[in-house]
Amino acid sequence: MSQKSDHRNENISETQYDPTVQLRGPGVGQRRLFLFGASIAATAYAAWLMTDVLGADQLTIMEMVVVAFFTINFAWISLSFFTGIVGLILRGLKLDAITLKRLKPIVRKGPLRSKNVVVIPVYNEDPNRVFAGLRASYESLAKTGELEAFDFFVLSDTRDPDIWIAEELAWAKACTDLNARGKIFFRRRPENTERKSGNLKEFCETYAANYDHMIVFDADSVMSGEAMVNMAYLMENNPDAGIIQSPPQPTGRQTLFARILQFISRVHGPTMSAGLSFWCMGSSNYWGHNAIIRTKAFIECCGLPVLSGKPPMGGHILSHDFVEAAFMRKAGWRCWLIPQLEGSWEELPPNLIDFAIRDRRWCQGNMQHARLMVAPGFKPLSRLHFFMGVMSFVSSPLWLLLLLSSTIATLQNTQLTYSFFPGHFTMFPQWPVDRSFEMLVLLIFTIGMLVLPKIISILMVCLGRDRKKYGGVMVLFSGLFETIYSALQAPIMMMLHSQFVFSVLTGNQVGWDAQERDDAGVPFKAALKTHRTIIVIGLVWGAVAVFVDTAFFWWLSPILAGLVLSPWLTHYSSSLAIGKAARRMKLFLTPEEYDSPDELRGLARISAELVDGDVKDGLMRLIEDPYANALHSALLPVRKPDARTTIEIGIIYEKLARLGIESLTRDEKILILSWPVKPLDQIMAGRDVNGS
Amino acid sequence: MTDMTVASQGFSYAAFESAAMTRLIEDTARAWLRSFGIMSDAQANQRLINALRDALAADSVASHDRASMQDILDQAAHDAIAGWLARVTGQQDCYGSASFSMLRCAFLSANRDGIWSSRFLDQDGDHRDLAMALSVQMMLPTPSLKACEMPRQTLEKRALERRAS
């Protein structure tokens, strides 16, 4: 602790800390011992059972491979199962996951003493959505009376000229409408090196030192004022805390796909958060947004290294959040996940294709973490977080290999002729051993570990006081449909994740695009095109399974069904109409939909108001609108173009004047918008802008 | 042709101004006024035209800036407006690109309904009310800069050891 003393709020003495919000709890070691012990024991039992089932008539090499893959996958399931069980107990007993005392709301003793900033790194995002989220959070914060303790900062890395200009105008409008000049700031990086982490690094090196803590938002984040103030209060009173993560609830989407995920995250998410918080304690992870960070600690110890080698496994670190948490822990700071911090929201991709696109990006980032797992200096739990991140994708090819090896093993077994008299000179035959009961036990055991915590979470909601907010008794049907849907979706994700992992390992990279944040549907043809390989694999695999053994085919049928039905599943689950119909039937209802909090109502209202502020041709705006022009000039960094750039800019202006805006490429627009040039309306004076 | 006798220099500038030049000056003035949201204010228009002619007559634009006549006039208009804004606001740094643009923003916001158009480039009188209106409308894109270094961590050395040393 002594090493951290220099980072503490120097102006706050030890006695001024509020003891009721101290983040500490008993038996950290025992908690982990229990969780890992139970997981290992369950995995060992399952592995023994599997060996017993397959090895009844002697274990073949392929069966050994099956057992190996099964064991690895089961360990993964087991850890998640016990995390869920612990979470359920904590939720059932209404206990705080950290202190293990009765859950109580945070009661602040006095106003905030710290200066905080809410930072929103954006890259080609819809400015209306970004600023609607900012404004909803700002308005909520204003109601707490703690507005003075916070600033907001939009950190733009946008490369699209039209979005760039729209962001500037949206910022100015927000400042004017909220009377928040000097409270809401905006800056755009001329060069977006190192993507989001580079964006934050640049902020840290320029303005962050003005603040004690920063709350990091994603482009689609919304937080209640209470949540933000509580997070800052927790930071103030826990001087060894480097990061405090709130569990963001997905909300706001209307497609069936998103509503199913929103529902299960709302029902089962708190269970998993409580379980995670229970055993992670001060070694929790950072999820990249909706978290508060101690600025000084972050600046001192979270400058990310550049990995040796080329991307995708080398180069700049893509998924920065886990690594930042690991560096925080390495330097002695604590990272907390506070499950009971409510009023923290994010949005999900609206359909399976966009979900997969996001996963492809995350996969590349998480796979890089495989290299950090063995890097010196990190805490064991940080390594475990890296491992869990890697496994969240690698478990898919492992599962696929398990199924494929099972198919091959079954095929081999059908080719073998059973020998009743394997030895010589014996009068007693060796009867085949029937292990169908053990197989059934193993199946129930595995499926139980996969779905039991989720089912109990659903039942808890159904029996709880708040069941009306989840659709009353319909929550049971929602749970049932979600289970069926997730079972069908799982094989699709298995195939996609396997493809992603293979793609990363063979050196393929993905770009960096903004997430789809509208309720976009997937046309059937597009779904068919995306999943055509998966369908073929499903059909061929099914044919082989039928050829091998009909019983084995039925065993595989849930997986094959998911693969073959993938385009229909993707298409219909992306439907807005079905999503809304399900809502009318109270299916997949969440408390946010039942009785929307003020912040989300505010978000909807502001988004509707900002519809007029659609992203238009940014350059044309500057020509037509003197205010936009002046604002843009004012926000440019003060620098002068070199001779070559000056000539290039001159040529582009000439092209603009003679051929019109349509003739300019995106890069040309970016170039002329990037320098402090004369206002465009003067340059174009007396000329025909459209070149008509 | 307007009366542009520059008495101090002993000759009439108007005598040398061609019709093309007059049009160029008027176009430039109109463009600059439009960039400040002033669409039809005769007084402001005349003040800027006068300022442009004064600058040309006084040959006040540096020779190295004389890429074209349009550039000379734009520079003259910029300087005249920046000088007036400096007088109104009391700020010295109104000539810089960012601060000039920021003041232009503020003026455009304050003058949405055209109430300050007639005061544009007015060198006489008390402009405290306008200065107040501008200060209310001034945007602040960023807080004060507080530069520091965010050191890159290495994967070879323990942060704690480095800290201890």
Encode pLDDT of A485-518 as tens digits: 999 999 999 999 999 999 999 998 876 666 666 7
Encode pLDDT of A70-127 as tens digits: 999 999 899 999 999 999 999 999 999 999 999 999 999 999 999 999 999 999 999 9
| A411 inside domain | no
Across residues B22-45, what is the average pLDDT? 90
Distance of CA B37 to the CA centre of its chain: 13
Mutate to test the interface with A, among B22, B69, B150 (most CBs of A within 10 A): B150
> Which of B139, B147, B163 is the closest to A205 by Cβ?
B147
Residue A342, pLDDT score: 93
Encode pLDDT of B51-92 as tens digits: 999 988 876 555 555 557 888 888 899 999 999 999 999 988
| B156 inside domain | no
Confidence category of residue A132, pLDDT binned at 50, 70, 90: very high
Whether the predicted pLDDT of A689 surpasses 80: no
- What is the residue range of A625's domain? 618-683
Residue that the structure tokens 């298409």 belong to: A571
Residue that the structure tokens 């059934």 belong to: A440
Residue A625, pLDDT score: 86
Residue B115, pLDDT score: 92
Cα–Cα distance, A186 to B90 (Å, whole number):
26
Higher pLDDT, B38 or A11: B38
Residue A91's closest CA among A293, A287, A247? Answer: A247
Confidence category of residue A644, pLDDT binned at 50, 70, 90: very high
Residue A419, pLDDT score: 65
Return the minimum-mean-pLDDT range out of A69-78, A416-425, B8-17: B8-17
Whether the predicted pLDDT of A686 surpasses 80: no
B140 contact residues in A (CB cutoff 8 A):
181-182, 185
Return the minimum-mean-pLDDT range out of A669-673, B6-10, B111-115: B6-10
Cα–Cα distance, A599 to A347 (Å, whole number):
14
Residue A371, pLDDT score: 93
| A678 inside domain | yes
Structural tokens at position A474: 């319909």
Coil, strand or helix at A263 = helix
| B95 inside domain | yes
Whether the predicted pLDDT of B6 surpasses 70: no
Cα–Cα distance, A290 to A345 (Å, whole number):
8
Encode pLDDT of A445-478 as tens digits: 889 999 999 999 999 999 999 999 999 999 999 9
Residue A470, pLDDT score: 96
Return the minimum-mean-pLDDT range out of A60-64, A195-199, B106-110: A60-64
Residue B3, pLDDT score: 45
Whether B158 and A377 lie within 8 Å, measured CB to CB: yes
| A467 inside domain | no
Confidence category of residue A639, pLDDT binned at 50, 70, 90: confident
Whether A634 and B104 lie within 8 Å, measured CB to CB: yes
Whether the predicted pLDDT of A684 surpasses 60: no
| A653 inside domain | yes
Structural tokens at position A18: 């509020």
Residue A218, pLDDT score: 96
| A634 inside domain | yes
Whether the predicted pLDDT of A433 surpasses 70: no
- Kindly provide the ipTM of the predicted complex, given to two decimals: 0.83
Cα–Cα distance, A58 to A51 (Å, whole number):
10
On average, the pLDDT of chain A sits at 90
Q: Between A and B, how many CB-CB pairs are < 8 A?
A: 143
Higher pLDDT, B16 or A668: A668
- What is the residue range of B116's domain? 5-140
Across residues A309-338, what is the average pLDDT? 95
Distance of CA A438 to the CA centre of its chain: 38
Number of domains in chain A: 1
Confidence category of residue A681, pLDDT binned at 50, 70, 90: low
Whether the predicted pLDDT of B136 surpasses 60: yes
Cα–Cα distance, A68 to A50 (Å, whole number):
10
| Angle formed at CA A489 by CA A483 and CA A491, multiple of 5 degrees | 115
Contact B35, B63 (CB under 8 A): no
Number of domains in chain B: 1
Whether the predicted pLDDT of B7 surpasses 50: no
Q: In this complex, is the C-beta atom of B165 within 8 Å of any C-beta atom belonging to chain A?
A: no
Query: Which residue on chain A is closest to B102 by alpha carbon?
Result: A634
| A643 inside domain | yes
Residue A81, pLDDT score: 96
Residue A235, pLDDT score: 97
| B26 inside domain | yes
| A639 inside domain | yes
Q: Please name the residues between 33 and 92 in chain B that touch chain A, using a CB distance below 8 Å.
A: 34-37, 74
Task: Give A367-400 as a 3 state SS string.
Answer: HHHHHHCCCCCCCHHHHHHHHHHHHHHHHHHHHH
